[in-house]
Amino acid sequence: MIAIDGKQPKGSWMGIGLALVMITLLPTSALATTQMAAVSQATCQPPALSRLTRYRVGAKDTLAAIAERHGLIAATLIGFNPALQAGPIKVGQELVIPPYNGIQVRVNPGQTWQQLAKLYRTQADVLFEVNGCVTTMPTTIFVPGVNWYTQANSGTTATPSSNLLGGYPLSERAAVIMAYGWQPDAAQNRMIFHTGVGLISQGGAPVLAVGAGTVAFAGIDPVYGKLVVVNHAQGLQTRYANLETITVKAGQRLRQGDRLGRVAAPQVNQPPFLYFEVRLNSPQGWVAQNPQDFVSGISDP
């Protein structure tokens, strides 16, 4: 069965700016197409694209308010309603509302679930269930949790100059305790989409700017906790969370390697770690990117 929650969690540093889509895991063997086809139709909901609804814009509506009302992010609504790319919403306008965050993707002839999963950095069994466990590949599928701005149509992400972020967020290379993208949550037997990476460190370890920039935020966030946000050139932004102390202020200019604060002490059943994100500016806001594409030394766990 698919368990989906499109709303952002409150009080969790993982959730801000991310459309959390949590999906119950199938057995690993379901990654094989022939075995996925054997899954009973009774275990799947109807395809996500068959559950689109309509909403008529009212006089006091805003795009952000409509998105929040439906447990979505604004970028999802823009992706399903291309007219919104040309200007603001209008009273009386009818919007298409998907059941949760994601994008529509046209499927090329011969493409498999495994190929599409690799292209959109998800898992084949996730795509299979979300699209109704159909044995014949549809011409259009729904990919959950992917922002249309960076991924739609091409499945690629525009990458600014790679030398902008030449540093590393810690003084030493660290193991990844939490990888970017769709990752299994063994405790809940579900898939969770992470907008950044967790780097194992030591409590009190210095946190460093990975590139020159300006501090956009330095303080306590209700989701991230103690957080530093740095804006860089070419529309890039980095975020450093799970901090014990912060040593910079908003508006401060930074050089690569400048100290931002220190990693928080270990928590119950959890080693100390830095939560690190890279985001790219877009008309729809700061879109999470895979830190591996921008900062060397970050590898899969």
Are residues 173 and 50 located together in one domain of the fold? Answer: no
User: In the listed set 104, 126, 151, which residue is the last one of a domain according to the structure?
Assistant: 151
79 and 100 Cβ atoms separated by less than 8 Å = no
Residue 272 lies in a domain: yes
CATH number of residue 234's parent domain: 2.70.70.10
Are residues 136 and 31 located together in one domain of the fold? Answer: yes
Are residues 146 and 166 located together in one domain of the fold? Answer: no
Q: How far apart are CA 210 and CA 254, in angstroms?
A: 10
Are residues 228 and 276 located together in one domain of the fold? Answer: yes
Are residues 113 and 172 located together in one domain of the fold? Answer: no
Are residues 137 and 220 located together in one domain of the fold? Answer: no
**168: containing domain:** 162-293
Residue 8 lies in a domain: no
pLDDT band at 285 (very low <50, low <70, confident <90, very high): low
Residue 3 lies in a domain: no
Q: What are phi and psi of 278, to 5 degrees?
A: -125, 130
User: In the listed set 151, 171, 198, which residue is the last one of a domain according to the structure?
Assistant: 151
Residue 17 lies in a domain: no
Would you say residue 16 has pLDDT above 70?
no
pLDDT digits (tens, 9 = 90+) for 76-135: 888 898 888 777 889 999 999 998 888 888 899 999 998 888 887 777 888 888 898 888
Provide the number of structural domains found in the chain. 2
Are residues 283 and 210 located together in one domain of the fold? Answer: yes
pLDDT digits (tens, 9 = 90+) for 43-93: 578 899 999 999 999 999 998 889 888 888 777 888 898 888 777 889 999
Are residues 166 and 144 located together in one domain of the fold? Answer: no
Q: How far apart are CA 237 and CA 216, in angstroms?
A: 9
Are residues 178 and 283 located together in one domain of the fold? Answer: yes
pLDDT band at 156 (very low <50, low <70, confident <90, very high): very low
Are residues 55 and 141 located together in one domain of the fold? Answer: yes
Joined tokens for residue 177 = 């305790």
Are residues 168 and 241 located together in one domain of the fold? Answer: yes
In DSSP terms, which residues pair with 198 in a beta bridge? Answer: 178, 275
Are residues 264 and 176 located together in one domain of the fold? Answer: yes
Joined tokens for residue 180 = 């970017």
pLDDT band at 275 (very low <50, low <70, confident <90, very high): very high
pTM for this model (two decimals): 0.55
Residue 9 lies in a domain: no
Joined tokens for residue 150 = 């960076």
CATH number of residue 103's parent domain: 3.10.350.10
User: In the listed set 124, 151, 178, which residue is the last one of a domain according to the structure?
Assistant: 151
Q: Is 258 exposed, middle or buried, given 0-12, 13-18 or 19+ CB atoms closer than 10 A?
A: middle
Q: How far apart are CA 183 and CA 124, in angstroms?
A: 13
Q: Which residue has the higher pLDDT, 286 or 259?
A: 259
